[in-house]
Amino acid sequence: MVNQMGRVKVMQFGIFTVGDVTTDPTTGRTPSEHERIKAMVAIAQKAEEVGLDVFATGEHHNPPFVPSSPTTMLGYVAARTDRLILSTSTTLITTNDPVKIAEDFAMLQHLADGRVDLMMGRGNTGPVYPWFGKDIRQGIELAVENYALLHKLWREDVVDWAGRFRTPLQSFTSTPRPLDGVPPFVWHGSIRSPEIAEQAAYYGDGFFANNIFWPKEHFKRLIELYRDRYAHYGHGTPEQAVVGLGGQVFMRKNSQDAVREFRPYFDNAPVYGHGPSLEEFTDQTPLTVGSPQEVIEKTLAFRETFGDYQRQLFLMDHAGLPLKTVLEQLDILGEEVVPVLREEFAKGRPAQVAEAPTHQALVARRDAELQEVQA
């Protein structure tokens, strides 16, 4: 992805959604599933309109969430956008068939002209494992084996495979093949598991620390592990590893107005409601409820803890916030926050730090490697 001046963007900024259907605590109204799905599409289109780079949807198979088919959603969004990178904030590598992931995302990659990547994850819903015939006690093993097969399916035209968790494959070809012979970029997301940071490093993939719920010290350890192991496996220096971070914001011109408006949504949120106070949560996690300037300052501070990184995604549409409010938040994010973040994060950024991943960059790197081999 390039900006209007033709320069590669050093960082990508976007939003991710978990697609929850939550009652608005200020009105008592609960949107229908149809309304929530349509709202997610409107939010994605708004993200492109205000100049963001990425829209990512979660994957869930239980109420109160609606995004059970991410590639269906993203394919629909692809037809209604031109520049937006379409991604996932979780693709369940543990319970989905790797063959189906390979084919679905390659198809989406073609439809979106390469504007696709995805984030592998295990999710946070225990019952999803038996629903899809899996055992949660084998979660890490499933993630390791299934991704090994997916990685192979995208890089070899004919695959023979035997493993523990699915029937063998003999002379199998996943179709369609990846666009331009280059698979979508893969992030591995984790909030707690060093094994997943290790997996991301082993393959030279990206690591996304969705640091919205826990203190920064925990995620700093995970990211440092990933960077060290990325270098250990010969993919580059620790500073060249590809890192993404989560964030959570609610903004108004005045901080007091933001806090007053957001508090009932926080207090009743399905994940962290009825737990720590809003003040405690904002002190200990990336959640920022305040002015655009406060969001800028807190987000810029991420670099001090985690080093230079490539992707910043914000959660904006949760906890029952009405669509009108979310669209207002995106206007503020795109007009007042992200332009400043782009400028500030670019300052003093070492030349060896990796650029944000795009299909075009991956194709160029593949071609350069081929030329080196042929020289």
Is a pLDDT exceeding 90 seen at residue 53? Answer: yes
Structure tokens at 104: 């679905």
| pLDDT-based confidence at residue 17 (cuts at 50, 70, 90) | very high
Which tokens sit at 118? 């995805």
Query: What gap in Å lies between CA 241 and CA 264, rounded to an integer?
Result: 39
- With the C-alpha atoms ordered 272, 278, 284, 288, is the resulting torsion angle positive or negative? positive
Q: Mean pLDDT over residues 177-192, rounded?
A: 94
Question: What pLDDT does residue 290 have?
Answer: 97
DSSP conformation letters of 97-108: -HHHHHHHHHHH
Write the pLDDT tens digit of every residue in 303-361: 999 999 999 999 999 999 999 999 999 999 999 999 999 999 999 899 999 999 999 99
Task: Domain 12-374: give its CATH code.
Answer: 3.20.20.30
What integer pLDDT is reported at residue 68 of this predicted model? 93
CA–CA distance, 260 with 240 (Å, rounded to integer): 41
Residue 82, SS3 per DSSP? coil
- Rounded mean pLDDT, 286-307: 95
Pairs from 151-160 (Cβ < 8 Å, separation ≥ 24): 151/183, 151/186, 151/203, 153/98, 153/99, 153/102, 154/102, 154/106, 154/178, 154/183, 154/184, 155/183
Instruction: Assess whether pLDDT exceeds 90 at residue 302.
Output: yes
Residue 178 has pLDDT above 90, yes or no: yes
Rounded to two decimals, what is the model's pTM?
0.94
Q: Where are the alpha helices (DSSP H) in the chain?
A: 33-49, 70-78, 98-111, 128-131, 139-155, 194-203, 216-232, 255-267, 278-284, 292-300, 302-306, 323-332, 338-346, 359-374
Residue 334 sits at φ, ψ, to 5 deg, of -75, -30
pLDDT number for residue 7: 40
Per-residue pLDDT of 189-222, as tens digits, reads 987 789 999 999 999 999 999 877 777 888 999 9
- The predicted-structure confidence for 83-99, as pLDDT tens digits, reads as follows 999 999 999 999 999 99
- Specify the pLDDT at position 9: 65
Residue 116 pLDDT > 90, yes or no?
A: yes
CA distance linking residue 298 with residue 192, whole number of Å: 22
* Radius of gyration of the chain measured on its C-alpha atoms: 20
Q: Cβ distance 111 to 78 under 8 Å?
A: yes
Segments in 112-138 forming alpha helices (H):
128-131
**Which percentage of the chain shows pLDDT scores above 90?**
81
CB atoms within 10 A of CB 137: 9
Give, as one character, the DSSP assignment of residue 337: I
Tokens of 106: 């390659």
The answer, yes or no, to whether residue 375 has pLDDT greater than 80, is: no
How many angstroms separate the CA atoms of 254 and 277, rounded? 20
Buried residues in 79-114 as b, exposed as e (16+ CB within 10 A): eebeebbbbbbbbbbbbbebbebbbbbbbbbbbbeb
Query: Any idea where the domains of the chain sit in the sequence?
Result: 12-374
CA 191/CA 324 separation, integer angstroms: 30
d(CA 215, CA 282): 10
Written as six digits, the tokens of 313 are 């995604």
Question: Quick check: 6 pLDDT over 80?
Answer: no
3-state secondary structure of 23: coil
Identify whether the C-beta of residue 237 lies closer than 8 Å to the C-beta of residue 352. Answer: yes
Q: Is the pLDDT of residue 273 over 80?
A: no
Judged against a pLDDT cut of 50, whether residue 22 lies above it is answered with: yes
